[in-house]
Amino acid sequence: MAPNNPRYNSIPAFHEKLLKSKRILAICGAGLSAASGLPTFRGAGGLWRNHEATSLATPAAFEDNPGLVWLFYAYRRHMALTAQPNAGHHALAALARKLPGGFLCLSQNVDGLHPRAGHPAEQLRLLHGSLFDIKCNEYCGWIQRDNFDDPFCPALAAASVDVNPGETLPLLDPGQPLAEIPRKEIPKCPNCTAGLQRPGVVWFYESLDEEMMSGVDRWIKDEPVDVVLVIGTSSQVYPAAGYAEKARGKNTSVVTVNLEPEGEVKLARKQDFVFAGDAAVLLPQLLEPIIGKPRRDGTYTP
């Protein structure tokens, strides 16, 4: 689809489709939280100190150096707690409230911003878990939900330091050596006591929750999906990246909302839409026929 296609950035054409739609699926990624100040994984912002963010997100990395992996996640927990949900999260939460049976949001984001925007839990599937769930790394099944301790434990205090604007957090300065955090400083699983507590997120080489995935499949198959919103994701990680095509039927429009949607422009079919820009700016505009205008503070009437 060339940028001169009427469906490229055409909000009126999308509104026409939206108003005829009964079932909407959203698939969100890190770009949705970019306007809240949280870095994405790939491209600029994908490095944490001198580590690729994705190389720290594996069971092997945790096994090798749980202190380092925990520092990375403790920092992300602190950043996420300091951040606020943006207008995009609020618009999706408002859409969920307006369409209780007709909208399901799948999010790869673990930052807790969807729930904090008031997104109804039954219309939200956190595909990759949450930074605020803690579980046992030995798979004994122990899990603690909504742990907002910051710092998570005394050994990780360096990740919860705030600096003045323009200053670099000492933890993030690759020029400063990183203190080794010995294994024994990481809290043990209170259930089996053999395992260590770890972030309740899905790492590379791990599977998503099966029950959640079959629920999503059932929702998709139940009735045709009219619109799939693909928001702020590079669509490189499966199964999340496969849901748009899974939900595609004869009349489904796949709608890409991305700051840099080059690849998606090429893949789009004639019924699809592509919107280039910040999800936090675009989502309130795109969804306005259903959710109305936001209040002054960016939220919507509950």
Q: Give the active site residues.
A: 128
Give CA torsion, residues 23, 28, 32, 38, to 10 deg: 150
Instruction: Give the nearer residue to ligand APR in terms of CB position, either 225 or 257.
Output: 257
Alpha-carbon gap, residue 146 to 156, rounded angstroms = 18
Give CA torsion, residues 46, 50, 52, 55, to 10 deg: -150
Residue 86 within binding range of ligand APR, rule CB under 6 A = no
**Greatest alpha-carbon span in the chain:** 61
Tokens of 58: 């594996």
User: How many residues contact ligand APR, by CB under 6 A?
Assistant: 22
Min CB(203)–ligand APR separation in Å:
8
Residue 216 in contact with residue 152, Cβ under 8 Å?
no
Nearest to 106 by CA among 249, 202, 205: 202
Residue 236 within binding range of ligand APR, rule CB under 6 A = yes
Does the annotation flag 192 for ligand binding?
A: yes
Measured from each CB, the residue nearest to ligand APR is: 31
Instruction: Give the nearer residue to ligand APR in terms of CB position, either 108 or 253.
Output: 108
Instruction: Give the nearer residue to ligand APR in terms of CB position, either 247 or 257.
Output: 257
- HSE (side-chain half, CA atoms, 13 Å) at 236: 9
Min CB(255)–ligand APR separation in Å:
12
Alpha-carbon gap, residue 144 to 286, rounded angstroms = 37
Token pair 């009219």 in the structure block, residue? 226
Nearest to 114 by CA among 128, 99, 100, 125: 125
Q: Kindly tell me which residue out of 234, 271, 285, 299 binds ligand APR, with binding defined by CB under 6 A.
A: 234
- Is the peptide bond between 151 and the residue preceding it cis, with omega within 30 degrees of 0? yes
Min CB(284)–ligand APR separation in Å:
13
Fill in the per-residue mask, 20 to 59: x = in contact with ligand APR (CB under 6 A), - = not in contact: ---------xxx--xx----xxx-----------x--x--
Does the annotation flag 140 for ligand binding?
A: yes
Fill in the per-residue mask, 267 to 296: x = in contact with ligand APR (CB under 6 A), - = not in contact: -----------xx-----------------
Binding site for ligand APR (CB under 6 A): 29-31, 34-35, 40-42, 54, 57, 108, 128, 232-234, 236-237, 258-260, 278-279
> Which residues are known binding-site members for Zn(2+)?
136, 140, 189, 192
